Amino acid sequence: MKLNNGRYEMQGVDLLEVCNEFGTPVYVYDADRIVAQIEKLRGSFSDIQVKLKYAMKALSNINILKLMKEAGVEIDTVSIQEVQMALHAGFEPTQILYTPNCVSFEEIRMAVEYGVVINIDNIGILEQFGEEFGNRVPLCIRVNPHLTAGGNSKIQVGHIGSKFGISVFQMRHVRKVVEHFNLNVVGLHMHSGSDFLESEVFLMAAEVLFNEAQHFPDLQFLDMGSGFKVAYKENDITTNIEAIGRDMSREFKKFCASYGRELELWFEPGKYLVSESGVFLVSTNVIKHSPAAVFAGVDSGLNHLIRPMMYGSHHDIVNISNPKGTQRVYDVVGYICETDTFGSDRKLNEVRQGDVLAMKNAGAYGFSMSSNYNSRFRPAEVMIYKGEAKLIRRRETFEDLLHTQIEVL
């Protein structure tokens, strides 16, 4: 999104015109920005065998998945429904990594039937897998490295108290299970959290994985997860992708030399690929003055964008209807019957009733975490593709709210 002759645009498309055509609230994604992020990440690892597996939980619209496929990116899934969606988008089963957590074994059976790559993070499930499938089905094992890292406690998933992965201290037990059932372990996986800034965190995690890999002679890949930080505000610190690419490539080549052959290195970027591509456009319903603040109340809430309330996440907010207005301070709040503040003490160009506000960095974990709380409709989604605004999800209707309900009274 950029300001051009007094109008905010995306690929030359006027965002106010998008609102006029499709209404608000609406998520808008820049396809070119997504492709640019893919190319930047892939280019940072140009001299080793790297596969990118898009973490589709970040944004799972079928058109986004097809864009990823078009760009040569494969898929990381965390539920059987995501597996089904990825298959529907045209991905081959072997291009889909399935990393469940605390699911029933029946769901894992379904994933085996689909033929996707299974990633197991529980010793009990690993034993069940061995009893039922033996070495007939290749699998990956998720290791918890016990590294406390990430930008927020809720997105730190590699520490000792995390529910994710098998503790590195339990890997000796894992090897016994693998030997007992003659399991076909083709990959080791690790994901420690999100919003890492420096390559040192990845190198520390990689060292753990490299050490464990020596005990598994038939590996095809190592999966380092993701966690690359994007900019949430102007001049924000971001992950140095080039440095990570350089340092990880060097250490990975050393590992492959000691392992005896070249493996693939996998990453699972989600937020990094789609976050900065998205803006969330809302209309201002009311301007409300109180002794403590001036509220700009908009036609959305935590039912559409819960990240500020759930994680304390910052999203820059811009008044795209009045870009030259005098700056004033506002609390931007939603219409939900909860405290749903998008931003406090924000300096914005004067906001008037009816003005459209744009929340930046809304491409990841926006729509995908939305709900029908307060019986509100989920918003529309639009993708700017090759200079055209295309509706990729219609706004919900009252009939949608009733669709799965069964009246018995």
| Strand runs labelled E in 145-184 | 166-167
pLDDT in tens, 265-305: 999 999 999 999 999 999 999 999 999 999 999 999 999 99
Residues 7 and 3: their CA atoms lie apart, in Å, by 5
Enumerate residues 6+ apart whose C-beta is below 8 A from 44. 241, 242, 244, 245, 246
Enumerate residues 6+ apart whose C-beta is below 8 A from 21. 389
Q: Side chain identity at 117, as an amino acid letter?
A: V
Res. 165: pLDDT tops 60: yes
Identify which of 171, 246, 167 has the alpha carbon closest to the alpha carbon of residue 213.
171
pLDDT in tens, 319-331: 999 999 999 999 9
Q: What is the per-residue DSSP string for 227-288?
A: -B---SSTT-----HHHHHHHHHHHHHHHHHHHTS--EEEE--SHHHHGGGEEEEEEEEEEE
Residue ranges and CATH numbers for the domains of the chain are 2-28+275-402 (2.40.37.10), 60-269 (3.20.20.10)
| Strand runs labelled E in 56-127 | 74-77, 96-98, 117-120
CB 35 within 8 A of CB 313: no
pLDDT in tens, 304-361: 999 999 999 999 999 999 999 999 999 999 999 999 999 999 999 999 999 999 999 9
pLDDT at 154 (0 to 100): 42
Pull the structure tokens for residue 149: 């890292």
Residues 151 and 146: their CA atoms lie apart, in Å, by 16
Residues 230 and 236: their CA atoms lie apart, in Å, by 8
Reduced to 3 states (helix: H, G, I; strand: E, B; else coil), residue 87 is helix
pLDDT in tens, 117-140: 999 999 999 999 999 999 999 999
Residues 45 and 245: their CA atoms lie apart, in Å, by 5
Enumerate residues 6+ apart whose C-beta is below 8 A from 53. 73, 74, 75, 76, 97, 223, 266, 267, 268
SS3 per residue for 108-119: HHHHHHHCCEEE
Q: Side chain identity at 391, as an amino acid letter?
A: L
pLDDT at 156 (0 to 100): 42
CB 43 within 8 A of CB 262: no
- Catalytic residues, which ones? 337
Longest Cα–Cα distance of the chain, Å, equals 71
| Strand runs labelled E in 56-160 | 74-77, 96-98, 117-120, 139-144
Residues 122 and 141: their CA atoms lie apart, in Å, by 9
pLDDT at 233 (0 to 100): 79
375 sits in the region (left: phi over 0; alpha: psi -120 to 50; else beta) called: left
Pull the structure tokens for residue 123: 């010793």
Residues 254 and 274: their CA atoms lie apart, in Å, by 32
pLDDT at 365 (0 to 100): 97
Average pLDDT for the chain: 93
Identify which of 212, 223, 133 has the alpha carbon closest to the alpha carbon of residue 173.
212
* Helix or strand holding residue 342 (H, E): strand 341-349
Residues 144 and 206: their CA atoms lie apart, in Å, by 12
pLDDT at 155 (0 to 100): 40
Instruction: With cut-offs at 50, 70 and 90, classify the pLDDT of residue 193.
Output: low
